[in-house]
């Protein structure tokens, strides 16, 4: 019992060994003067900057603004992507009508729209939301479509033979069958969501994490710049952890996810 508990704790700690070692090496290098703190502050310095920003309230304001932008943009883009993925997966007509257009737009790097977006929206909220929404739209759309297309036709036939209505055929066979692929899209989309938001905030914003980092650069506050980068890493990890949790809950039937 204790042995299995110990091994489990150890297993849970293993992924964190490398980040911890890097932090330790970094701290040693900075405090021994091996690396100049003008270019790379020590972890303790970053921590201090974080504490200061948190106390002044600046960190929370910027963090919550960025988070709200990410969430709203994600809901809009992901929602439309999911709806169109479902529609095009279920209806040939809808696919014929829209898929070619979407595939053309998909090949435009969405960040290349930034100049246009600034012309349209200035540096207002819409600009950021638009970019995030476009960015998350495609992975959600493509993976939802693929998921629905790859549902086992034998199971669909079984559902029909056993008298399922179109609605229960969708909720009991098609959607659960598409779910693993939809989750892949979700993960991609979360990554793109942060990427887009940070780029957009760095280029054109008056608040948010990206803005905080850009402002700190102007005042040569390296510790704040590094703090922002560390927070990105933490946010990315948090988004990933949430997806994993959802996967474990909704894909428990799938042996590939059971012990992931």
Partner 1 sequence: MLATALRVSEDATAREAKPLDARPREKPAPKGVSTSPLRPAPSATGIGVTIRDLTKAFDGHTVIAGLDLHIPAGQFVAVVGRSGCGKSTLLRLILGLEQPSGGRIGLEAQAVRTPPKRIMFQEPRLLPWARVVDNVAVGLGEDGSRAERRTKAQAALAEVGLSEKAGNWPATLSGGQRQRVALARALVSRPGLLALDEPLGALDALTRIDMQAMIERIWRAQGFTAILVTHDVAEAVAMADRILVVEAGRIALDVTVDVSRPRRRGDADLAALEGRILDHLLSERAPA
Q: How far is the CB of 161 from partner 1 (least distance, A)?
A: 6
Q: Which is nearer to partner 1, 111 or 156 (CB)?
A: 156
Range 238-246 contact pairs with CB under 8 angstroms and sequence separation of 24 or more:
239/190, 239/191, 239/193, 239/194, 240/187, 240/190, 243/183, 243/186, 243/187, 243/190, 246/183, 246/186
CA 202 to chain centre: 18
Contacts with partner 1, 237-256, as mask; x by CB under 8 A: --------------xxxxx-
Residues that contact partner 1, how many (by CB under 8 A): 21
Out of 10, 28, 71, 158, the only residue in the binding site for partner 1 (CB under 8 A) is 158
State the nearest-atom distance from the C-beta of 149 to partner 1, in Å: 17
- Looking only at residues 137 through 156 of this chain, which bind partner 1 when binding is defined by CB under 8 A? 154-155
Of the pair 93, 256, the CB lying nearest partner 1 is at 256
Determine which residue in the list 179, 189, 205, 222 makes contact with partner 1, applying CB under 8 A: 179
Backbone dihedral region for residue 163 (phi beyond 0: left; psi -120 to 50: alpha; all else: beta): left
Question: Measuring CA to CA, which residue among 133, 135, 141, 139 is closest to residue 85?
Answer: 141
**Which of 135, 139, 112 shows the shortest CA–CA distance to 203?**
112
Token representation of residue 182: 């939809």
Q: Which is nearer to partner 1, 36 or 165 (CB)?
A: 165
Residues of this chain that interact with partner 1 (CB under 8 A) are 154-155, 157-159, 161-165, 168, 172-173, 176-177, 179, 251-255
């Amino acid at each position: 019992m204790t042995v299995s508990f110990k091994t489990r704790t150890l297993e849970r700690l293993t992924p964190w060994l490398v980040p911890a070692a890097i932090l330790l090496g970094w701290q040693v290098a900075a405090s021994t003067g091996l690396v100049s703190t003008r270019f790379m502050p020590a972890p303790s310095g970053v921590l201090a900057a974080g504490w200061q920003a948190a106390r002044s309230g600046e960190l929370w304001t910027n963090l919550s603004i960025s988070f709200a932008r990410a969430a709203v943009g994600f809901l809009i883009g992901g929602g439309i992507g999911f709806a169109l993925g479902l529609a095009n997966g279920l209806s040939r007509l809808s696919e014929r009508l829209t898929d070619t257009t979407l595939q053309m737009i998909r090949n435009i790097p969405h960040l290349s729209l930034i100049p246009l977006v600034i012309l349209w929206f200035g540096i207002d909220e819409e600009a950021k939301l638009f970019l995030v929404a476009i960015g998350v739209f495609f992975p959600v759309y493509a993976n939802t479509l693929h998921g629905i297309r790859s549902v086992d036709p034998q199971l669909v036939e079984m559902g029909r033979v056993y008298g399922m209505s179109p609605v229960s055929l969708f909720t009991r066979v098609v959607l659960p069958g598409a779910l693993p692929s939809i989750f892949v899209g979700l993960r991609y989309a979360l990554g793109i969501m942060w990427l887009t938001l940070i780029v957009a905030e760095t280029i054109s914003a008056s608040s948010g994490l990206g803005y905080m980092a850009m402002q700190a650069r102007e005042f040569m506050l390296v510790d704040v710049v590094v703090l922002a980068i560390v927070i990105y890493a933490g946010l990315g990890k948090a988004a990933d952890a949430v997806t994993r949790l959802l996967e474990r809950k909704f894909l428990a039937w799938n042996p590939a996810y059971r012990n992931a």
